[in-house]
Each structure stands twice: as structure tokens, then as C-alpha cells.
Structure 1
Amino acid sequence: MLDTKLLTFVQVAKYKNYTKAAHALNLTQPAVSQHIKKIEEHYGCRLIIIDGKTVTLTEQGKLLYSYANFQLANEKQLIDQIKRVETSIKIGSTLSIADYYLPDYLSAYLSDSDEVISVSVKNTEMIIDMLLNNELSCAFIEGIFDKSLFHYFEFQNTKFLPVSRKGHPLENSKVNISDIHEYPLLLREKGSGTREIYENFLYETNDSLLSVSKIHEISSFSIIKNILKKSDAVSFMYEEVAKEEVEKGELCYLHIKDFLINRPLYFIYPKNSLMKQKNEVFYEKLMKKRNE
């Protein structure tokens, strides 16, 4: 923050008039005169010469005026940087959303915004913990969360589907969930939203992962899909996650009797968050840009 006496000097030099400078600064003219006197005492030289109503700068005054304008420019740049840091939004996202949904939303938003954001990609359980510990401002998640603790908006609804390689023995058949159990199952790690959705489905049908012949835990959908292409394993994921490979004829969606799961994807933030207004403005702008 620049010294008020230096700011007064800049205004006097700018207007070449004490009265106009006083008006611009909302000060009395004697106060302006006192500021100029103090700053001249500080530098030990005359900075301003008054001849009648004419105000001119001495050579020393011209040097100080140049220096002061340079400092003002630096001050403005610093304030802009501080504001960007203070208003940056720390966003959390689960893996499925981060890789297959969020890029379209964020690219549209950032193309017309100079706001600084940071994105952390974790599983649903870790994202929830980070939100409650104030490590994140908001998040995009799938899966189950305690709605009493968060404000939330559903930004998309998507199908949750069984996926295998093209040409899998179960392709083109309407099978039972028990048929799926006979093949290796590729699942995300515990705490992930997609795993929780599948486990809940099994629970609701009086089944569990104990019925599965073999389970492999893999945290990357890219690795999961590559393994699916080269094996008879089965996995469960959102439609968009496998869409490109299905369109290329590398993977396919299987058909399980009585298996129909549509899941909302959520934007959430803690109910006690001090960033409530900023989070909601961000979300509204994000949706608006995505839909334009």
C-alpha cells in the first residue's frame, strides 16, 4: 500500500492544482499542502514550485513522479494477482467425471474467463473428506453422499452399464447377474462412486461381491478398458466412459435382466461453506457456457 503523502503528490502533479487535487482526494487544501511539505522534508528537496496559480515540478519532482507512477502500476498488478489468488476455486472431481464429462464444461467456461481454478481428482470418499475439511471449495461427484451436509445440483444424468469386449461370450444375450459373476470383474477401488453403485445394486438384489469368481481392483478407467479389450473380464461404468470404444467396435454394453440404472452426476459444496455465493456463481456460469 503506497504512502498517502505520495498519492497526494501524484494528484497534485497530475492536476497541477492544489484545489483540484484536494477535491480528487476528498481532502482539504491545507491537508494537501501539509502532505507536500512532509514529503519534501522526507526527501530533503523542493519537489513542487508554485508561481501564482501555476504548479510545476522541479527536476527532483519529475523523478519522484515517474517513480510514483511506476509504483502505482506495480501496486495495481499486485492487487490483481492477490484477487485472482483469493478468488480461485479449488474444485474436486471424481475420476469418471474428470476424464469424460468435466473437460467439455471447463473448456467452455475457461474460454471466456480469467478466473484461476485448480482441480483435484480423487474417488468419491476422498472428495467428500476434502470438502468437509475445507480443502476444496466444491466438487463434481457421482455416487452416494450425505445430502444433509451439502448443497447440491444435478448437472447431468447418465446410464450405468456393464461393459465387455466386442465379441464377448455374453454379447447379444439377455443374461442374469449370476452369468456375469462367472467372469473376472474389474472394479475401481473401495471408496469410488462406481464401485459403490454396483455394490448397492447387488445388495438390493440379495447378492454381493462374494458371488463373483474373481475381482481385480484398478483405479484407472483407461487401464480397465484396455484389459477389457483383451480378455473376457467385465466391468461397470457410465455410458460416456466407454462410448468412444463402443463406437469403434472395441467394447460393447452387455444386457442384464432387470438391470436399469440411471445415475445423476452432482455439483456439491458444504452447507456451512463461506464460498456459497462464489460456488453458485461459478456453477451458473459453467452451465450457461456449456449450453451456449
Structure 2
Amino acid sequence: MDQLLEVFVAVAEKKNFSRAAEELHMTQPAVSQHIQAFEREIGTRLLDRTNKYVKLNKAGEIVYDHAVEILGLYTKMQRLVDDLTNKTSGPLTIGASYTFGEYILPYVIADMLEQYPLVTPSISIGNTRDIAESVLKHQLDVGIVEGDFRHHQLMIEPFAKDIMHIVTAPTHKLAKLKKVTPADLAQETWIVREEGSGTRTAADKMLDSLDISPEKMMEFGSLQIIKESVEAGLGVSLLSKWAIRKELSMDTLKIIDVNGLPFTRTFSIVTSSPYRTKALDTFLQFVREVSEKS
């Protein structure tokens, strides 16, 4: 059954029998036979086929979501059993929200691999909501997310505080003021992340705490684009101290002094199971050390 699931997932993701066969190192007729056998097993057609494409039908979408989760659990089970008799090694799938993933995680991974070179990490960067969903579906071993995140089906461990500042370009008019008021901030263009992002949630909470309703907001899906936009004078933003260290040292961004700031949020470890491989336990030890450096 596990091979049938693997073939079905490959066809669903590649949307093509030939490309799925190439990925699986199988012939196209063999892939077709596996799909037919799987559809007989399930009791209904799962794929709509034409000469140009293959796509999931409604039943196929349901089966695909569960197939991905089942394969993730099966892989995790195998690794946990293998882990009992082996030293710290093997694959480790890590998901992280943008601030932690882009500005902290590379250093955590480098420190870990220096001592445990047999661990093979695979990293996905996304917003908090997407990372949590992937952990829940067992597509990731662990997620690192931002903010006051809660989910009744996931285990969540806050491990470090993240200090956030309002920043502008050094030439911005606010940068020339000794003290900036909420009224000043309300008139500015705010450059923020998209809904579902931990950084966006922090910005919304901060604005609420200052009782600010900005006249204009611009959404961008990347911290780097936000920083460069602020540097260019397009507006202001609330960003983690981890994300702006380089820009502050180069004087391309400036922190704005506002009563009630800086804003503080939490980094949290998210997992879906109490069973952990040695590789995951080792990684978490290095992650928790971030609190000592923050």
C-alpha cells in the first residue's frame, strides 16, 4: 500500500504520468498500473485525465491530503525505529517563519553540523500559519514560529524573546525627530507582511496598543523587500532586531524612539509528536541556546 501511495502522490504533484515515472525511476506503464490498482483499492476514480494534463478530482483531493500525512507518519516511524540503534544522524525536516528562518536558523544549523555532521537538514521557510499546517500534516519534523501562537493539536514550546523596533530610512522626516508620537506614525505609510505572518501579527498588535489606524499600508511577502523599501524612503515598518542588525551597523536603517516600544514577541518550537529522533532532539538543544544570545 505504501508504494501505491507514493506513486499516487507523485502523479498528483507532478500532474503528469511521465514526470512522475521519471521521479520514481519507473516506466510510465508501471505508474499507470499502480494508479489503476490504487483507484480499485479506494473504490473510485481519483484523477481526471486528458491528453494535456492529469489533475485531482474531489475524491482525489481528499485522498491526496491524507496520503501525504500517512507517508509522513510512515517515514517518521521508520526513522524513530532506526534511531534506536544508530548515533545522531539522518534527515531532519525543519520549517521556520521568515525572521527566524532567514536571520537565525543558518547559524543554528552551522553550529549543529560542526558537531553532528551526519545530520542532513532540509529547510522550508514560510509564514507562521503555513509552517504550523505542515507540522500538523507531518510534512515537517519541527517548526519555529513567531508570536503568541496556539493550536490545540500541536505541542508548542516558547523558547526565546524577540525584540522588535519601528524603523525608517535615516533621511526620513521621522528620523530627525527626538520623539515620535502615535499621531506622527498614523500619518505614515506602513510597510507590512501578509496576513498569516508572525511579523504581520506583531505589527497589528503594536498598532492596536498605540491606538493607531494608519492611513496607508503596503503588503510585501518578503522581509528583504520590506527593508529595502524602508531604506528607499517608502514608509516605516516594525521589524525584529535580528532582521535589522546589518542595516543598523551600516546606518541604512534607523530605529524610531516611541513610548511603549520596543515591542516584544516570542519564538516558539512547534512539534506534532512526543516521539523524537536523536537528530531532532539535538537540533532543539541548539535552538534553545538562542535565548541565551537574544
Length-normalised TM-score, structure 1: 0.63
Corresponding residue to 1:104 among 103, 107, 110: 107
3-state SS of 1:240 partner: coil
Give 1 or 2 for the bigger CA radius of gyration. 1
AA matched with 2:244 = A
C-alpha contact 1:109 1:286 (8 A) present in aligned 2: no
Whole-angstrom CA distance in 2 between matches of 1:93 and 1:196: 16
C-alpha contact 2:97 2:144 (8 A) present in aligned 1: yes
Whole-angstrom CA distance in 2 between matches of 1:289 and 1:278: 18
Partner of 1:268: 270
Residue pairs, 1:170-181, within 5 angstroms: 170-171=174-175, 172-181=177-186
Whole-angstrom CA distance in 2 between matches of 1:181 and 1:291: 35
Bigger CA drift: 108-117 or 258-267? Answer: 258-267
Partner of 2:72: none
Structure 1 gaps, min length 5:
1-78
Percent of residue pairs identical? 22
Q: How many residues align?
A: 207
Bigger CA drift: 241-250 or 253-262? Answer: 253-262
Partner of 1:158: 162
- Cα 1:236–1:87, aligned 2, differ >3 Å: closer, same or farther? same
The two structures, once aligned, show a CA RMSD in angstroms of: 2.9
C-alpha contact 2:141 2:271 (8 A) present in aligned 1: yes
- Cα 1:184–1:262, aligned 2, differ >3 Å: closer, same or farther? same
Corresponding residue to 1:123 among 127, 139, 150: 127
Structure 2 gaps, min length 5:
1-81
C-alpha contact 2:136 2:154 (8 A) present in aligned 1: no
- Cα 1:112–1:280, aligned 2, differ >3 Å: closer, same or farther? closer
C-alpha contact 1:109 1:290 (8 A) present in aligned 2: no
Whole-angstrom CA distance in 1 between matches of 2:105 and 2:286: 14
Corresponding residue to 2:224 among 192, 207, 222: 222
Partner of 2:8: none
C-alpha contact 1:161 1:238 (8 A) present in aligned 2: yes
Alpha-carbon shift at residue 225 of structure 1 (Å): 1.3
C-alpha contact 1:182 1:212 (8 A) present in aligned 2: yes
Give deviations 1:89-128, integer Å, cap 9, x for gaps.
1110011111111111111111222111111100001111
AA matched with 2:154 = F
- Cα 1:92–1:223, aligned 2, differ >3 Å: closer, same or farther? same
Whole-angstrom CA distance in 2 between matches of 1:284 and 1:245: 29
Partner of 2:142: 138
Alpha-carbon shift at residue 259 of structure 1 (Å): 2.7
AA matched with 1:177 = P
- Cα 1:286–1:196, aligned 2, differ >3 Å: closer, same or farther? closer
